[in-house]
Structure 1
Amino acid sequence: MDQGPDENKGLSKMKRLLAGVALSALLAAPLQAQDATTVLATVNGTDITLGHLIAMQSLLPDQYRQLPDQVLFEGMLEQLIQQEVMAGQARGMMTSRMELGLENEQRAFLAAALMDEIAMADIPEEEIEAEYENVYGATEPAREYNASHILVETEEEALALIADLEGGADFAELAQQHSTGPSGPNGGQLGWFTAGMMVPSFEEAVFALEADEISAPVETQFGWHVIRLNESRLQDAPALEDVREELVQGLRRARVDARMEELTAEADVERPDLEGFDISLIRDIDLLEN
């Protein structure tokens, strides 16, 4: 007998209710074993264990790992069940492309796992301190400059502004009135900068100035500048704690690189003569259609 819309809705609600009861029973039922081999679901004869969920959880991005345990458990278990359903179907239609793809995925996973093991090993404090000394200890302190400028279109305008400044005009007021640069409304203030942050001709003029001295007109691709050096200072090396994470990450990368070079040197790698080999074949997916 055909069922009406109301009956279909009722059946749908019943199915959802039964599914919820089944899941609740699974979660509430006491399990005999509470270790990595504990079976949480069986899909067409294949077990999904607590160990599978632990391994999956360990590889999740941080934002997912911070979810409540109940949400995380249900989401991961459902995903693994769905994946196993699909994978079981795929196993019956395995192609060369799929088999080789699995080999590549396994190779990449194992290599990444080893790199993580190498990188995450504890780094002694003395090694971090030695790296800090290596990076910052022998470095000459960089000089920082604080300057203001007025940008105009012609050299004549720049010379006129210099004459006004020599007559006692206020630099910031002239910058607000005449500068075409974005710093004009701020009195021409450029803030602190170091070598390499400004165009060469501008930098050269700044470096030649004493504090509160005004430059001659300086031409750049932006126009003509009148520059005042407000002050300069030596930039101290950062404190160890300020760069600790940066140093640690660099040491971890160096460990991985060194170990990779070592293992590669020890490996028995054979490379056949590839003279005449058609490298464009890497794009021929038809070679895997069997």
Structure 2
Amino acid sequence: MRLFRLSAALAVTTAVTTMLAAPAIAQDADTVVATVNDTPITLGQMIAMKQGLHDQAAANLPDQALWDLMLDQLIRTTAVAQLGESGMTARDKARLELERRAYLASAALEKVAGVEIGDADITAAYQSMFGEAAPMTQYSAAHILVETEAEAQDIRRQLADGADFGQLARERSQDPASGANDGELGWFSADQMVAPFAEAVKSLQKDQISDPVQSDFGWHVIRLDDTRLAEAPKLDQIRPQLVAQLRREKVDAEVQRIVSEAAVDRTEGLTPSLINNTEFLDVK
């Protein structure tokens, strides 16, 4: 009996040792986790799907629960996609190809945008923007915007007679954003406004109200509330904006380089109105 028990124990030990020593099954992005009518669902697709999850509740699920949830979703999507694939039209093929190109282009440019921006580049961008910039005058003003000069003249007369600027702005201004706020525009620099408006503001004294001023938006009656000198921001204050700008510039430069090096051959003789012939896309 003891010999039997010892032999059994040795057999179990040998089996466990063998399993531990056996090489693990190779797994990579192409590992098939399921098939739907011979269409594979791969481990890479599962991982990519998980990376695309924005639902925090789903992201916090245990691995097994999330695995089952995603695999079920992919099985359903794959089965329904097979039905759509069997009846694909030219429109379907065109859209799929556009989406494929857009994704690949985005993935390529993400790598460019992800390049580390050095302190030297950030400092150079800051100096280029603000290094020799003088303090800028900013204005705080309010306005009432109307369609016609006659309306603006009427408002100007009422204000001269003591009417409340904010009340008239709420009642009559056609600028919905400022009108609801007593006509106030907050702080701005002259270059942020259309030229006639900016010139009128620069000519006013504090608390002075302008005569009617015409711009492309209509007729304005403007009140200057205050002015101030705005110093250039500190580098650390705008570092994120500078980094974002430098990344955009790198991406734009890379796009220009790639396009300039591409062999582009435009087909001549096609009529631009062809883009309106949507019946082309209904062909299978």
Q: Which residue of 1 aligns with 2:59?
A: 67
Q: Which residue of 1 aligns with 2:42?
A: 49
Deviation, 1:138, is: 3.5
The letter for the 2-side match of 1:240 is L
Distance 1:188 1:100 in 2: 50
Between 1:96-105 and 1:44-53, the stretch displaced more is: 96-105
Alignment of 1:98-247 (within 5 A): 98-146=92-140, 153=154, 180-182=168-170, 192-195=187-190, 204=199, 206-208=201-203, 215=208, 218-220=211-213, 231-247=226-242
Instruction: Give the conservation status (yes or no) of the 8 Å contact 1:57–1:65.
Output: no
The letter for the 1-side match of 2:123 is E
Deviation, 1:131, is: 1.7
Does residue 257 of structure 2 align to residue 262 of structure 1? yes
Q: Which residue of 1 aligns with 2:245?
A: 250
The letter for the 1-side match of 2:168 is T
SS in 2 for 1:36: coil
Distance 1:287 1:219 in 2: 55
SS in 2 for 1:180: helix
Instruction: Give the conservation status (yes or no) of the 8 Å contact 2:30–2:43.
Output: yes
Query: What TM-score, normalized by structure 2, do the two folds share?
Result: 0.63
- Cα distance change, pair 140–62 in 1 and its aligned pair in 2 (3 A): farther
SS in 2 for 1:121: coil
Pick from 64, 69, 76: which aligns with 2:70? 76
Instruction: Give the conservation status (yes or no) of the 8 Å contact 1:41–1:49.
Output: yes
Query: What TM-score, normalized by structure 1, do the two folds share?
Result: 0.61
Alignment coverage as a number of residue pairs: 240
Distance 2:38 2:209 in 1: 85
The letter for the 1-side match of 2:60 is P
Instruction: Give the conservation status (yes or no) of the 8 Å contact 1:158–1:217.
Output: no
Instruction: Give the conservation status (yes or no) of the 8 Å contact 1:153–1:224.
Output: no
Instruction: Give the conservation status (yes or no) of the 8 Å contact 2:36–2:75.
Output: yes
Structure 2 spans left out of the alignment, 5+ residues: 1-23, 145-151, 171-177
Deviation, 1:132, is: 2.1
Distance 1:222 1:130 in 2: 43
Deviation, 1:40, is: 2.9
Q: Which residue of 2 aligns with 1:23?
A: none
- Cα distance change, pair 97–155 in 1 and its aligned pair in 2 (3 A): closer
Distance 2:143 2:99 in 1: 58
Structure 1 spans left out of the alignment, 5+ residues: 1-30, 162-173
- Cα distance change, pair 254–46 in 1 and its aligned pair in 2 (3 A): same
The letter for the 2-side match of 1:258 is A
Using the aligned pairs only, state the percent identity.
36
Deviation, 1:278, is: 3.2
| Larger RCO (alpha carbons 8 Å, 6+ apart) | 2
Q: What's the RMSD between the two structures over aligned residues?
A: 4.3
Deviation, 1:288, is: 5.6
- Cα distance change, pair 140–73 in 1 and its aligned pair in 2 (3 A): farther
